Amino acid sequence: MDYAVIMAGGTGKRLWPLSRQKRPKQVLKLLDGKTLLRCCFERLRPIFDIRNIIVLTNAGYADVVREDLSELPFNNVIAEPAVRDTAGAIGLVSTVLSKYDSEATIVILTADQIIEPPEVLQQGIKDALTFINSNPDDMITFGIQPTFASTSLGYIKCGNSRECPKCKNKIYSVDAFREKPDEKTAKKYLDAGQYFWNSGMFVWKAETILTNLAKFLPEATEPLAKIQAAWDSPNQQQTLQDWFIKLPQISIDYAVMEKAERVNAIKLDCRWLDMGSFAALADVISSDESNNIVVAGQSELLDCKNSIIATEDKGHLIAAIGLENIVVAHSPDATLICHIDQIDRLKELLELIKQHTGEKFL
Query: How far are the Cα atoms of 59, 220, 248, 270, 360 from residue 119, in angstroms, in the given order?
Result: 32, 36, 36, 9, 42
Which residues make beta-bridge pairs with 305? 324
**pLDDT confidence of residue 358:** 87
Q: Taking a C-beta distance cutoff of 8 angstroms, is the pair 92, 230 a contact?
A: no
Q: Taking a C-beta distance cutoff of 8 angstroms, is the pair 308, 338 a contact?
A: no
Q: Taking a C-beta distance cutoff of 8 angstroms, is the pair 142, 199 a contact?
A: yes
Q: Could you give the CA distance from residue 334 to residue 243 in angstroms, rounded to a whole number? A: 37
- The candidate with the shortest Cα–Cα distance to 44, out of 132, 97, 110, 92, is 110
CB contact set of 323 (below 8 Å; sequence gap of 6+): 301, 304, 305, 307
Q: Could you give the CA distance from residue 139 to residue 264 in angstroms, rounded to a whole number? A: 6
Q: Taking each helix axis from N to C terminus, what angle separates 118-134 and 36-44, rounded to the nearest 10 degrees? A: 50
CB atoms within 10 A of CB 18: 21
Q: Taking a C-beta distance cutoff of 8 angstroms, is the pair 55, 8 a contact?
A: yes
- The candidate with the shortest Cα–Cα distance to 153, out of 266, 50, 66, 280, is 280
Residue 123 phi, psi dihedral angles, 5° rounding:
-70, -40
Amino acid at 93: V
**pLDDT confidence of residue 25:** 80
**pLDDT confidence of residue 12:** 67
Q: Where are the alpha helices (DSSP H) in 118-177?
A: 118-134
Q: Taking a C-beta distance cutoff of 8 angstroms, is the pair 175, 157 a contact?
A: yes
Helix, strand, coil percent values for the chain (each to nearest 5): 40, 30, 35
**pLDDT confidence of residue 324:** 96
Residue range(s) in the chain whose domain bears CATH number 3.90.550.10: 2-274
**pLDDT confidence of residue 255:** 94
Q: Could you give the CA distance from residue 297 to residue 313 in angstroms, rounded to a whole number? A: 7
Per-residue pLDDT of the chain (362 residues; tens, 9 = 90+): 999 999 998 766 788 898 887 777 888 877 777 888 999 999 999 999 999 999 999 988 899 999 999 999 999 999 999 888 899 999 999 999 999 999 999 999 999 888 989 999 999 999 999 999 999 999 999 999 998 888 888 999 999 989 999 999 999 999 999 988 898 999 999 988 899 999 999 999 999 999 999 999 999 999 999 999 999 999 999 999 999 999 999 999 999 999 999 999 999 999 888 777 787 777 777 889 999 999 888 899 999 999 999 988 888 999 999 999 999 999 989 999 999 999 888 889 999 999 999 888 88
Region at 200 (left for phi over 0; alpha for psi -120 to 50; beta for the rest):
left
Sign of CA dihedral 146, 150, 152, 155: positive
Provide the 3-class DSSP secondary structure of residue 217: coil
- The candidate with the shortest Cα–Cα distance to 137, out of 66, 75, 196, 209, is 209
- The helix or strand, by DSSP H or E, that contains position 208, with its residue range, turns out to be helix 206-216
Q: Could you give the CA distance from residue 149 to residue 185 in angstroms, rounded to a whole number? A: 8
Which residues make beta-bridge pairs with 338? 327
Q: Out of 3.30.365.10, 3.40.50.720, 3.90.550.10, 2.20.25.650, which CATH number does the structure's domain 2-274 have?
A: 3.90.550.10
Amino acid at 334: A
Amino acid at 314: K
Number of helices followed by number of strands (H, E) in the chain? 11, 17
